[in-house]
A and B are shown apart, each in its own frame.
Chain A
Amino acid sequence: MEDVAIIGVGLHPFGRFGAKPALEMGAEAVRAACADAGAEWKDVQFAFGGSFEVDNPDAVTGQLGLTGIPFMDVYNGCATAATALELTADAIRAGKYDIGVAVGMDKHDPGAFTSDPVDYGAPAWYGEMGYFLTTKFFGMKINRYMHDHGISHETLARVAAKAFRNGALNPNAFRRKPVAEADILASRMLNYPLTQYMFCAPDEGAAAAVLCRADIASRFTSSPVYLRATTLRTRRYGAHEVHSTWAAVEQDDAPTVYASRAAYEQAGIGPEDVDVVQLQDTDAGAEVIHMAENGFCADGEQERLIAEGATEIGGSLPVNTDGGLIANGEPVGASGLRQVHELVLQLRGRAGERQVPGTPRVGYAQLYGAPGTAGVSILST
């Protein structure tokens, strides 16, 4: 199996951009990724494009050059971009192509996501009666977690405050103003114990990466980052996940736990080797839970780690250095490639004001979304 290198990353800022179509943002992200790689679009042999709102991400070729390449469209909930990345990497690993692009783009209406619950395997009444809300699930999950493991409301506020602080250092972020912990706690309660400023919001943006066979990476760049693992997992019987009317009494771990274990095994490294982390912080509670689900600490240890500043940019376990979903918002198709973009900048030592000190060598990214799907990627220099 061929090893895979990421040779270029590109990003269209996340936020609100008026009438600008998602496809135009996608094209800008791909151009930026190609320029970063020192490659041209005509060098690209294939692509995977992810989006929730855009039916045909492959239409981006109309703005990049109609070169006739195979361009496959994917949608996999919040794990869409991890899926595009995995499929692009797999095609290179299998030896089918030498160089390809993974791109994600989206443009959502403001406010909580909505859709037809039937398309998520839930009955129509689940939506009509007011259960079909991802935010409600996250409220229930962190509430029990806080009860079981002694996590405080202040810890949730610290996580959100860190996201806004890091976002302020990131010119591409949606939310760029620090918010005080007291204001986060005092903002409107949406789904107890989660307040308005503890949640990410759907928005707009695009991100892309150029991948190639590791043995030809030096033709393009002197600073390749290697993709050591990509894994995806769905929920198992016994896991309580987003948009489920029920859960089994006999409990099993969340899909993130399985995706994470498999990724460490694939990469041949452990959580102790990871220098910079990007986690799905749909809400501040999700970041806390995902720290443990991805093996970075034991359940409950977050209370101390976060109070001590371990997850800050200068801490021992920097998490969501670009502000994560809370500061960047979530254009679903692009979100996971935004994580990869940030990790590549960090591992190259080019993350500017938010650069993790020392020489970070290993980066880790995790996505989680409806109806219980997780994706993990591990990168290293």
Chain B
Amino acid sequence: MTQVAFAPDVFTWPSDEPQLIGGRCPRCAAVAFPLAPACPRCGTPEMDRHLLPRRGTLWTWTTQEFLPKEPYAGGETFETFRPYGVGLVQLGDEVRVEARLTESDPKVLEFGMELELVVVPFRTDEDGTEIVTYAFQPV
């Protein structure tokens, strides 16, 4: 089965230890995600490619329990859609990133819980290609 990364500019893959690709300002050292053309703090029109820590803690979270409208490209129908968790994950003392969580049960999700970046299936196309994306999984 062919696997293809969704938004390959956003995380390192294939890799046993995938990382999110952020940006670090060469002038003020602000870290942001993803790598963007300018610094959000000081406006410097360049950012250095900066790989983010693989582990983090859950700053806040919610669940996505209805099928998003377009431009969502997950390919589910109302019948096949399964809720997913979304969190704001703090990576070291560098930055917080919004990301899917592999866990979506409010009884299991806890503020401050340890998480690790993993690559997970996102959807399977008609030709059998599996599209993968990143998510954070409880350690």
Contacts and interface: CB of A to CB of B under 8 A. Distances in A.
B96 A249 contact: yes
Pick from A111, A112, A139, A247 the residue with the most CB of B within 10 Å: A247
Contacts of A221: none
Interface in A79-125: 111-112, 114, 116-117, 123-125
A316 interface: no
Contacts of B62: 136, 139-140, 143, 191-194
Contact of A144 (B33, B40, B60): B60
A143 B101 CA distance: 15
A141 B33 contact: no
A127 interface: yes
Interface stretch (A13-21, A167-175, A237-245, A257-265): A237-245
Given A245-B33, A249-B95, A128 B65 contact: no
A124 B71 contact: yes
A244 to B, nearest CB: 7
Q: Size class of B's contact patch?
A: 35 or more
B71 A132 contact: yes
Contacts of A292: none
A140 B99 CA distance: 12
Contacts of B84: 130
20 contacts: A114-B71, A127-B71, A128-B73, A131-B86, A140-B86, A140-B88, A144-B59, A189-B63, A189-B65, A191-B65, A193-B62, A240-B88, A244-B98, A245-B97, A246-B22, A246-B95, A246-B96, A247-B88, A248-B96, A249-B94
> Nearest 3 CB-CB pairs, A to B?
A139-B62, A144-B60, A125-B7
